[in-house]
Homo-oligomer: A and B are copies of this chain.
Amino acid sequence: MNYFSSDFKLGILGGGQLGKMMLYDTRKYDIYTCVIDPSPEAPSRLACNEFTVGDLLDYDTVVNFGKQVDVLTFEIENVNVDALETLEDEGVKVFPSSKTLRTIQNKATQKLFYRDHNIPTADFSRFAHPSEIQDAVDNGGLSYPFVWKSARFGYDGTGVKVVRRYTDLIDLPNVECIAEDLIPFKNELAVIVARNEKGDLKTYPVVEMEFHPEANQVEYVICPARIPDAIAKKAELVALKTAAAFKHVGLLAVEMFQTEDDEILVNEVAPRPHNSGHYSIEASYTSQFEQQLRCILGLPLGNTESKVAGVMVNLVGAEDYTGNVLYKNIEKIMAMEGVTPHIYGKKQTRPFRKMGHVTIVNKDIAVAREIAEKVKRTIEVISE
């Protein structure tokens, strides 16, 4: 198939910031794109060839959208996976596959997949309802502390809770869930694996999520991770094994814990470009977004090495501001060396909403890390 001709159409489910950044590269290659998103104000509404407003969870909407394209991908996991399966049956190339997405969408299934494929992950138990958890604790099958996770679409802070005592269980939503061992870890690491249909595999360098010492929030994504080579090698192998087990086509971002004992445990995966790979736009020979296109279009994989070290800082809405967004001091950070802000184009800010990110590149990672700290102290995402 000739991807560089106007007969070819790439469909993208979701028009958020990930889709928007992927469009830099579809424009670079002049690849025809159709994007669908529920919001008429989605960041991807520009730069694609056709933009449709529609519900990504509605079977008919997704099937009808997918029928008009040659290759279909998604930038968000929360889409109708039955529709993807139907489209695959009808000959549309869907990458990553419906099968992979179905496994990943449900955290219990995802964890079982790791267990079945001998991929190291924290021990866990699966429950249809949180009430069963209490029974398990009472029967001695589970003990505090543990991590409760809702099986479906639990994201950090909403579908995840550390349970230390009985009272922590009381307000949990009544949904399918897992209880996972609470792992004391030295580092949270991530590796993005790229794999195409032929099975060619490449990994990006291991990155490190540096946490705020008090707030326990990821503050910086650092590439390369400041860890010993042997640990990096181990993390890469676990990530490769994971992508190969899924027979994944596309990017797979594998988030891992480096435990106190230097074990590597898979925490969770994302079958798409990922926050932990944003640094790659400025730092890598091939950005994760270009790589995603290469993977799903069956093009040769690009070089995943870095030209320079990179640190990424997320721009989230400041706590006390809601309304029309204002990026205070953005000119000041742009005067700092190797600093590139990415503004996603969401018009309204609210506390902790992801509004953009900033990449800091430098030949010396320690210098990049220092500048990142200055960036973080300087810029503020507030409202008008």
Interface residues of A (CB under 8 A from B): 2, 4-6, 20, 23-24, 27-30, 43, 46-49, 285, 290, 294, 299-300, 302-303, 307-308, 324, 326-327, 330-331, 334-335, 337-338, 340-345, 347, 361, 363, 384
Tell me the nearest residue of chain B to A337, going by C-beta.
Answer: B303
Contact A326 B27 (CB under 8 A): no
Contact B331 A299 (CB under 8 A): yes
21 residue pairs bridging A and B, Cβ less than 8 Å apart: A2-B326, A4-B326, A4-B327, A5-B324, A24-B27, A27-B46, A27-B47, A28-B340, A28-B341, A28-B343, A29-B341, A29-B343, A30-B343, A30-B345, A46-B48, A46-B49, A47-B47, A285-B338, A300-B331, A300-B334, A303-B337
Q: Which 9 A-B pairs have the closest CB atoms?
A: A300-B335, A30-B345, A47-B47, A30-B343, A307-B307, A4-B327, A307-B308, A300-B334, A24-B24
Known contacts A6-B347, A307-B307; 20 additional CB pairs below 8 A are A4-B326, A5-B324, A5-B384, A23-B47, A24-B27, A24-B28, A27-B46, A27-B47, A28-B342, A30-B43, A30-B345, A46-B46, A47-B47, A285-B337, A285-B338, A294-B334, A300-B331, A300-B335, A303-B338, A307-B361
- Give A307 to B361 CA distance when docked, in angstroms: 9
- Give A347 to B384 CA distance when docked, in angstroms: 43
Tell me the nearest residue of chain B to A306, going by C-beta.
Answer: B307
- Which residues of the partner chain B approach A300 to less than 8 Å between Cβ atoms? 331, 334-335
Tell me the nearest residue of chain B to A344, going by C-beta.
Answer: B30
- Give A4 to B327 CA distance when docked, in angstroms: 7
In the assembled complex, how far is the CB of residue A75 from the closest CB belonging to chain B, in whole angstroms?
15
- Give A57 to B27 CA distance when docked, in angstroms: 28
- Give A330 to B294 CA distance when docked, in angstroms: 12
- Which residues of the partner chain B approach A384 to less than 8 Å between Cβ atoms? 5
- Which residues of the partner chain B approach A294 to less than 8 Å between Cβ atoms? 334
- Which residues of the partner chain B approach A344 to less than 8 Å between Cβ atoms? 30
Tell me the nearest residue of chain B to A363, going by C-beta.
Answer: B307
- Give A303 to B30 CA distance when docked, in angstroms: 28
- Which residues of the partner chain B approach A47 to less than 8 Å between Cβ atoms? 23, 27, 46-47
- Give A27 to B243 CA distance when docked, in angstroms: 32
